[in-house]
Amino acid sequence: MIPLDPAPDPVSAERDAIRSDLRNSLSVITGRTQLLQRQVLRSNGLLNLERDQLLYGLAVTLAEVQRVGDQVEGLINGAPLAAQAQAEPHPAPHHPPVPARAVEPD
């Protein structure tokens, strides 16, 4: 007698579909953010301060996308958010110093 395949688990199938959708969305965000980083680095029309601020913002975005991706994986794999919060955090990138702006007289 040939063993029958077990019936597909609808919850598991839905979980896998959600995981796939979220991974794809996070991959798009990551890829576009990395593309923007390369464009900023190649740009000659930006002041150093502007470039540093843009690169910092993009690095923060990438760190947050990674954090959310890790949380999604943890939730899907059954880890509670509290346990994930105690896991090794992704370090925030160093923020470039912002010089004081000169005040123009009235």
Task: Quote the radius of gyration of the chain (alpha carbons, Å).
Answer: 22
60 falls within a domain:
yes
Asked if 84 and 71 count as a contact pair (C-beta separation under 8 A), the reply is yes
φ, ψ of residue 51 in degrees (nearest 5) = -60, -45
Kindly report, residue by residue over 7-50, the tens digit of the pLDDT: 677 778 888 888 899 999 999 999 999 999 999 999 988 899 99
100 falls within a domain:
no
What does the pLDDT read at residue 91?
Answer: 54
52 falls within a domain:
yes
What is the tally of structural domains in the chain?
1
Quote the domain boundaries for residue 32: 23-86
41 falls within a domain:
yes
**pTM of the full predicted structure?**
0.66
Asked if 15 and 78 count as a contact pair (C-beta separation under 8 A), the reply is no
Kindly report, residue by residue over 49-76, the tens digit of the pLDDT: 999 999 999 999 999 999 999 988 888 7
C-alpha separations of 65 from 9, 28, 59, 100 in Å: 29, 10, 10, 31
